[in-house]
Amino acid sequence: MTSPFLSVYGHVTVDQIISIDEFLPPGITADAVTKKTTLGGTGPNIAVAASRLGCPTALCAFVGPDFPGKYMELMEDSGLIMDEVTVLDDQETSTCVIINDRDLVTRVFFYQGPQGHAEETGIRLTSMARESERVHFCTGQPSYYISIMEELAGGPSMALDPAQEVHKVWNADLVRRAIPMADSLFCNDLEAKTLEGYLGVDDVLDAGPGLVVRTMGGDGSIARIGGETLSIPIVRAKKAVDVTGAGDNYRAGFYAALHHGYAVPEALVIASSVASFAVEAVGALNNVPTWDAAVERAEPYMGDIC
C-alpha cells in the first residue's frame, strides 16, 4: 500500500440542500420545491480533491452505519486511502441541512456526529498520520485534535485549520494550546479576526507558525512564509457559479503541489488555480481539475507573486 503524503482530519458530512418558496410561521409546513443530497464536510472535500490531483492522501474520520455506500465508493474510487475512515455502529453520521427560500435566505442546521465528540469513541486515529509527511487538522473536536498533535509532536508537519468552527467550537485557550504545535495555519478573513482576538495579535500573520495563509476571496490570498510576507494572486475562473468548497479545494491544491515538488509560494498559486475550477460548478467536488490542467491555469500567474 502507498504511504500517504497527507492525512486529513475533518467532518464527513451528508449534506441535504432543500429549497422552499418561503419560510412560514411556526407550526405551518412549508413544501420543499427541490431537495438534493450530496457528500460534504471538510474531510472529504480536502482529501478527495487532493487525491484526485495525484497526492497520496488518507482521510482520518468517523461515520455511522447510515453513511451512504455510494459516498464510500466515491471516496474509494478517488484513490483515497481509507484505512482510518471508521464506521461506528452506535453513531449517526454528521449531517448538514441547508434550507434556502426563493430570496436565497438560508437557514443551516448542523449535526456534529462522532467527529464532534471523537474523544468519547476511545479510538485513536493516528496510524496514517504517523506515516505522513503532512497532517491537516480541520473541523472536529478540538481537544481530540490537540491530543493527537501532542502524540505526533516531532513527526510530520502539522497544519491547523479550524475553519468556521473557530467561532463556536474553539476558544482562546484551545487555540493557544494548538498553535505552538502547528507548523502552518490556514484561515479566511472572517476566521482571521476571531483568531486575532483569541491570540491577542493585531494580524493573524503574526500568529506564530512558520507558514500562515489567509485567503481573501476575490482578492486572492496572503501568506507569511518564515519572515517574508507574500501576496498570492487570485487565479481567475472562467465563470463563477458556486463558491462552496473553494477553500477546501485551495488546500487540496496546495498539498498536491507540495507533493509534486513545488516550493510553498508556487504551491499557493496552484492552490488558487484549483479553487478557480471549483467555483465553476455547483458542489465542492464536481469540478476538480486534472493535475496538468491546474498547473496550466496557474503558470501565467507565477510571476505575480509579490
Q: Name all domains of the chain by residue range, CATH numbers in brackets.
A: 6-24+31-304 (3.40.1190.20)
| pLDDT score, position 101 | 87
Instruction: Decide if pLDDT at 286 tops 70.
Output: yes
- List 55's β-bridge partners, or say none: none
Read off the C-alpha cell for 92. Answer: 449517526
Instruction: Decide if pLDDT at 245 tops 90.
Output: no
The number of beta carbons lying within 10 Å of the beta carbon of residue 28 is 7
| pLDDT score, position 159 | 98
Confidence class for position 240, pLDDT limits 50, 70, 90: confident
| pLDDT score, position 105 | 84
| pLDDT score, position 98 | 87
Cβ-based neighbours of 26, under 8 Å, separated by 6 or more: none
- DSSP-derived letter for residue 163 is G
- Asked whether the beta carbons of 56 and 2 are under 8 A apart, the reply is yes
Q: How many CA atoms lie within 13 A of 278 on its CB side?
A: 28
Read off the C-alpha cell for 93. Answer: 453520521
| pLDDT score, position 1 | 63
Confidence class for position 100, pLDDT limits 50, 70, 90: confident
Residue 201: C-alpha distances to residues 164, 169, 176 (Å)? 19, 20, 12
- List 221's β-bridge partners, or say none: 215, 232
What is the pTM (predicted TM-score) of this model?
Answer: 0.94
**DSSP strand pairing (221-225 vs 211-215):** antiparallel
Confidence class for position 234, pLDDT limits 50, 70, 90: very high
Q: For residue 145, which phi and psi values (nearest 5 degrees)?
A: -65, -40
Question: Tens of pLDDT along 83-99?
Answer: 999 999 999 999 999 89
d(CA 133, CA 114): 26
**Residues belonging to the active site:** 248
d(CA 269, CA 294): 10
d(CA 193, CA 202): 9
